[in-house]
Structures are given as C-alpha cells and as structure tokens.
Amino acid sequence: MTEETIPRRRFLLGAGIAGTAVATGFNQTEPAAAQAAAPAAGAAAPAVAQPEPLLALNETEHAFVVAAVDMLIPADELSPCGSDCGIATFIDRQLASAWGGGAKMYRSGPFRKGKPEQGYQLALTPAEFFSAGIVAANAWSRKTYGHDFDRLDPDHRVEALKAMQDGKAEFADFSSRAFFARLLAITMEGFFSDPIYGGNRNKAGWRMIGFPGLPATYINLYEEYRDKPYVVEPRSIADFS
C-alpha cells in the first residue's frame, strides 16, 4: 500500500483542481435563477486545492469517498461536485465524531444476523462500517474492472454505484446494498446539513433547491410570501454567531 499512497494523493490533488475549476465556472456564469440573491457569496468562494487534513479516513478511503460523492453529486449548472461541496470533508469529520464511534448505538452481543426489518445488527461502528465497506468495494472493483473504484472512469464509477445500490455488486462478506444506502445517506447529509460540519460548502446544497437556511422567525413573512418565492441569501449557524 505504501507505494500506492503517494501517486493516489497526487492524483487526488489534480482531481481537486479540476473540480474547483468547474465550481468557479459555475459561479461566474450562472448569475440569475438559482443564485439570484447570492452573487457576492458565490464569487467569494475560495479556489483552494490544498489537500484536506484527515481525521478518520486514510488516503485510500478518502480517494474512494471523493470518487463516490463526485458521482452522487456531479458538477453541473446546479452545483459544484460533491467533494467541492465539502462532502468528503463532512464524511471524514462525521466518522471521527462520537456518532462515527458508535454513540447512541446499542452494541452488546450476541450479534446475530436478523431479518432486514430488525434493522442494523452488526457490531461495527459507522467508522468501522465504512472502513470495511470501502475495502470490500475496492476489492470488488478490482475484480470487476481491474482497478480500485477511484481509478475508474466516471461512466464505470456510475455503473459500479448502481450495481451496489441494487445489491448486484457481490462484495466479499459485506452487503453492497447496505453499504450504498449508508453512503448515499451520509452524502445527502453532507450536501444539506449546516456548513458548520464541513459539507454544504458555500451553502451549495441549500442554494440548489432554494432552502433559505436558518430563520430567526418567519412570523412576519408568512403571509407576505404566501404563494410567492422567498429568495434570499441562505443563512447558516455561523451567520448568526
């Protein structure tokens, strides 16, 4: 693994720059519609391609996560790609959080395989679950495509993710369907949660749909905006702090 870490890191750095270029282009060429009230904040987005310091993920895991979230949330006129929205950062920090370490999960044995309706029955914490899942996904990707998932071209990555979603990707000792479900859930959490957690960078997820973020109150706006679009610069926890 040691030999592979350095080239993978370089590869990522290149991908990061490319992704940021897409993001910047979006901000410059999309003046009205979704961005109506927010041109200043959009233009102010920093074009930083510095590698992120990682808390929970190793380089291989991080590469997988970036490659996956950029397919789940592809760059287009509606938003930058997932990693440029900070979703890989979000996932890394979440897996390092108390939640990632299994807080609020009942973790006493015996551990038995149950029916799907009995819910999650593994001993793994979320951090351990993703770690094991990424190993299984990459092993399957190598067997199926000859490369780790992050080295696949975008079309093959989409195809691979669909195979996981449908449970058709046969991971060794791991449910690809369950892995994908958690991956998609945490990606959406990263796209739409408050930017305080590192995702939803520049409130890209909120801008995409027109969610105004936090209100102090709507009591005085409620009637005024009946059946009218409420277009404002979204506000986050940091904007109130």
Partner 1 sequence: MAITLKETDAVVVGMGWTGSILARELTKAGLNVVGLERGAKRMPRENFTVPSVRDDLKYAVRQELFQDAQLETVTVRHAPGETALPIRRLGSFLPGTDLGGAGAHWNGMTWRWLPSDHKLRSHLTERYGKNAIPPEMTIEDFPVSYDELEPFYDKFEKLCGVSGKAGNLRGQIIDGGNVFEGRRQNDYPNPPLTRSMAGDIMDKAARSLGYHPFPCPSSNASQTYTNPEGMTLGACEYCGHCERFGCEANAKASPNVCILPALLADQKFELRNYAQVRELVYDKAARKVRAVRYVDTRSGEEYEQPAGLVILGAYVFNNVLLMLTAGIGEPYDYQTGKGAVGRNYCYQVSGNSVAVFFADKEINPFMAAGAHGVLIDDFNGDNFDHGGLGFFGGAWIQGGTTNGRPILTRPVPPGTPRWGREWKEATAKWYNHAFGIGASGCNYAHRENFLDLDPTYRDALGRPLIRMSYNFRDNDYKLAEYLGGVLERLGRAMNPTIMGKVNVKRGDYNVVPYQSTHNTGGTMSGADPKTSAVNRYLQAWDADNLFVMGASVFPQNTAYNPTGVVGALAYWSAHAITTQYLKSPGPLVHA
Q: Which residue has the tokens 């890989």?
A: 88
- 40, 118, 172, 173: which one binds partner 1 (CB under 8 A): 118
DSSP 227: T
- 23, 63, 73, 91: which one binds partner 1 (CB under 8 A): 73
Q: How far is CA 99 from CA 68, 91, 111, 189, in A?
A: 21, 11, 20, 13
Using rule CB under 8 A, residue 101 touches partner 1? no
Using rule CB under 8 A, residue 37 touches partner 1? no
Nearest CB to partner 1, comparing residues 172 and 219: 219
- Which residue from 110, 153, 140 is spatially nearest to 15, judged by alpha carbons? 153
Using rule CB under 8 A, residue 36 touches partner 1? no
Using rule CB under 8 A, residue 46 touches partner 1? no
Counting residues that bind partner 1 (by CB under 8 A) gives: 65
Contact stretch for partner 1 (CB under 8 A) within 50-58, 111-119, 127-135, 141-149: 111-119
- Which residue from 94, 9, 3, 4 is spatially nearest to 49, judged by alpha carbons? 9
- To partner 1, the closest distance from the beta carbon of 147 in angstroms equals 21
- To partner 1, the closest distance from the beta carbon of 173 in angstroms equals 19
Radius of gyration of the chain (CA): 20
Biggest CA pair distance of the chain? 63
**Contact at 8 Å (CB) between 20 and 47?**
yes
235 bridge partner residues = 213
Q: Given the rule CB under 8 A, which residues bind partner 1?
A: 34, 71-74, 76, 78-79, 99, 102-108, 110, 112, 114-121, 158, 161, 165, 184, 187-189, 192-194, 196-197, 205-206, 208-212, 214-219, 221-223, 225-230, 236-237, 239-241
